[in-house]
Structure 1
Amino acid sequence: MQHTEHFDVLIVEDEGKLANIHAEFIEKHFNMHVVGIAATLFEAKKLLQQHKPRLILLDNYLPDGEGVSLIESQLLKGMDCSVIFITAASDMNTCAQAIRCGAFDYIIKPLSYPRLRSSLERFIQFVKTQHTYKVVDQQNVDILYQLQSSGAAPSASTKGIEENTLGLIKQIFATDGGETFYSVDDIVEKTGLSKTTARRYLEFCVENQFLDIEMRYGKIGHPRRLYRTKSAN
């Protein structure tokens, strides 16, 4: 009989609306339960002791300190708990410090939800792999490291990106000098692509530094991503 493991998650994020969006996203798409939302390090430590979650989504800039101090704490080191940073901290020192302290992943805001989905999928597979192999050989170790690492950016071909369609998307953004923001729906209307396909191409362009994004928050659970040609500055 196949067992599907359930994961308790703690979200540490001082922007309440954004934290709720994270919570709705992961509970909708994964076998995960958000046990609490903390807006400060103090609250996070209390919830950690109370719930002992398996995963933390952690912001770095908090009202009473930096999230990276939590991953360094003895409290967290004594738990079987992984950390995914979701933060605006884009300086190399913070990123390197988080990785040295064992962060499972590091995602820079504004958050790409396909990127978060990929990270959570890798986390689940990482845990499953640990349960599968009771005795490890080098191949098993390599698999674990590959799952924990984001790795090199996939090529267009490995992500199902077709060059002609990619060129069509880029042409739309190139015609207005980069002044206009487009939503996924706008691109669907202009190209006839499905929403899923249009979104995949747009996120590929963001990952490869061709497009910038701006998040517009509407109702909880419905963040709107707008895309524009990347600024030269």
Structure 2
Amino acid sequence: MPKPIRVLIVEDDKRIAEINRRFVVRVPGYEVVGIATNEQEGKEFITVLQPELVLLDIYFPDMHGLHLLKWIREHFMNIDVIVITAAREVDSLKQAMRGGVFDYIIKPIMLERFTETLVRYKEYHDKMQLMTKEKEIISQEEIDELIRRDYVLSDASDELPKGIHRLTLEKVLTVMKQYHDGVTAEEVGKLIGASRTTTRRYLEYLVSASIVIADVSYGTVGRPERIYRLKRS
């Protein structure tokens, strides 16, 4: 079983930090290893814990978060950063992007948006780990797949039926890519912040488009349940 991605939250508001922690642990494959509330704690925790991912605010009483981002880049190039902030200034976004952040999320955080980012980051992280272990050179196609931010439904029709929206459909697909052994509509719904009924509608559309296949599982109490997984090429 792969090790969970270790996350450090750097946020001076303890209430918001706790909300972020709860959001993180709802996503499979993650664990929160610490919460830092100021610059000193942030640097100490990063140095000692060396997490794979830092969730970083920008506004602090004793520092600017982008200065800490620069420090991370100078000392720990292998640590990825997602900015979570109320800062809406274009200059803050530009500096963060130049600092190589994986994503930039504006407060207040929406669970669906946050979950989407963590699911995408896990796929990116897992692919990068696999490539590091198995490859010395990489193709352009593999690079494009690794660094792209949006998943393209190349196998689905451009004309989606009524009630099926492309953004939600791509979120469902992103989750499906994490569960090779199959997942239920209820489980997918929890991850993307949608109801079981809505999620099942999208999954059944993907079945009709021959992107996803569905099997019936009777479970331990004999109640049949549809299990969905991506169709292997």
Q: Distance in 2 between matches of 1:35 and 1:116?
A: 18
Preserved CA contact (<8 Å) 2:73 2:99 = no
Preserved CA contact (<8 Å) 1:13 1:37 = yes
**Structure 2 CA distance for partners of 1:37 and 1:72, relative to 1, 3 Å:** same
Q: Distance in 2 between matches of 1:160 and 1:118?
A: 10
Corresponding residue of 1:190? none
Corresponding residue of 1:104? 102
Instruction: State TM-score, norm by structure 1.
Output: 0.62
Q: Distance in 2 between matches of 1:160 and 1:13?
A: 29
Q: Distance in 2 between matches of 1:39 and 1:159?
A: 34
**Farther-moved stretch of structure 1 (111-120 vs 71-80):** 71-80
Corresponding residue of 2:69? 71
Q: Equivalent residues in 2 for 1:58-207 (5 A)? A: 58-73=56-71, 77-133=75-131, 134=135, 135-146=137-148, 149=149, 157-160=165-168, 194=195, 197=198
Which of 32, 50, 56 is equivalent to 2:54?
A: 56
Identity of aligned residues (%): 34
Cα-to-partner distance string for 1:106-125 (whole Å, 9 max, x where unaligned) = 00111111111111111110
> Shift of the alpha carbon at 1:160?
5.0
Q: Distance in 1 between matches of 2:28 and 2:8?
A: 14
Preserved CA contact (<8 Å) 1:9 1:32 = yes
> Shift of the alpha carbon at 1:68?
0.8
Instruction: State TM-score, norm by structure 2.
Output: 0.62
Secondary structure at 2:26's aligned position in 1?
helix
After TM superposition, which residue ranges in structure 1, 4 or more long, deviate above 6 angstroms? none
Q: Distance in 2 between matches of 1:151 and 1:159?
A: 9
Cα-to-partner distance string for 1:129-159 (whole Å, 9 max, x where unaligned) = 113332310001111220xx3689xx97313
> Shift of the alpha carbon at 1:92?
0.5
**Structure 2 CA distance for partners of 1:150 and 1:83, relative to 1, 3 Å:** farther
* Ranges in structure 2 where 5+ consecutive residues have no aligned partner: 153-159, 170-193, 200-233
Q: Distance in 2 between matches of 1:95 and 1:150?
A: 19
Q: Equivalent residues in 2 for 1:214-225 (5 A)? A: none
* Ranges in structure 1 where 5+ consecutive residues have no aligned partner: 162-192, 199-233
